[in-house]
Amino acid sequence: MSILVDSSTRVVVQGITGREGSFQTRRCIEYGTRVVAGVTPGRGGEIAEGAPVFNTVREAVDATGANCSLIFVPAPGAADAILEAKDAGIPVIVCITEGVPTLDMVMVKNQLRGSSVRLIGPNCPGVITPGQCKVGIMPGDIFLPGRVGVVSRSGTLVYEAVAQLTALGIGQSTCVGVGGDPIVGTSLRDVLTAFQADDGTAAVVLIGEIGGGFEQEAAEFIKSQMTPRRGGKPVIAFIAGSTAPPGRRMGHAGAIIAGNTGTAQAKKEALAAAGATICDSPAEIGSMTERLLGQRGLI
């Protein structure tokens, strides 16, 4: 089992003829992803990376049945690209683009409110269900099919956590990088909800960072839905940015402490109180997960 994408997912790449779009499309196809179309306005009728190129997402969907969009459109046009995919009926949209203006994302969030569309990103590494489908920029060779879900605000730490898990023989069900911007389409809580409902996921690794209240929202869900007495799944959590001074952005646009809720300590305390197992160092993620799975009889 998996969430968001699997072997049946049919991907259309918006921006497939650009340098980054073409390079990453090749990597996705090599992994086994079914890239069925590309979209670049004015380039309809061409072939890019073996896929037909269309002028609009609607044309691509009508011709190929695409049900997932991967966006590499430059930041000024990314919001329009997201909404074009939404209007074409794409249920899962993955926007890799970095630097999307915050006000553009406010507008996008308002447009998506109440719809069934799931937007991952922007400024994210994407989504991968190991052995089935990669929709993003992750290095596919470090992933291993299995039963541990991974969700992270940091793309780099997804790779670090997965590399540790794979080295220990612990496979992953689906790995989701939600993005590091202040406004993203999918929250940590949203992904936890999907993992809790997925029969193929036995435990979850959650990687947060300073800034915002995403981790506190996740903690509320863990406390209400993922405790052992409710049949919940164990959560192993790490929060990056413990040494960051207040008011200074660290890495991502959303990683800036504004108020006590944005500190690493506040996030750790909220998650620990909810029942998550806390790692104090990223180097502990793999070993802590192995230990907890062993205690629960899951490996």
Residue of 134, 252, 267, 268 marked active site: 252
- Of the CA atoms within 13 Å of residue 199, those in its CB half-sphere come to 1
Report the SS3 class of residue 236.
strand
Residue 277, C-beta contacts closer than 8 angstroms, at least 6 positions apart: 234, 235, 236, 237, 288, 292
252 is catalytic: yes
Through-space distance between the first and last CA atoms of the chain, rounded to whole angstroms: 17
Residue 259, C-beta contacts closer than 8 angstroms, at least 6 positions apart: none
Report the SS3 class of residue 151.
strand
Nearest to 195 by CA among 187, 203, 183: 203
Exposed/middle/buried for residue 44 (C-beta within 10 Å: 0-12, 13-18, 19+): middle
Rounded to whole angstroms, the Cα distance separating 174 from 182 reads: 23
Rounded to whole angstroms, the Cα distance separating 216 from 263 reads: 11
- 3-state helix, strand and coil shares in percent for the chain, rounded to the nearest 5: 40, 20, 40
Q: Which positions are annotated as active-site residues?
A: 252
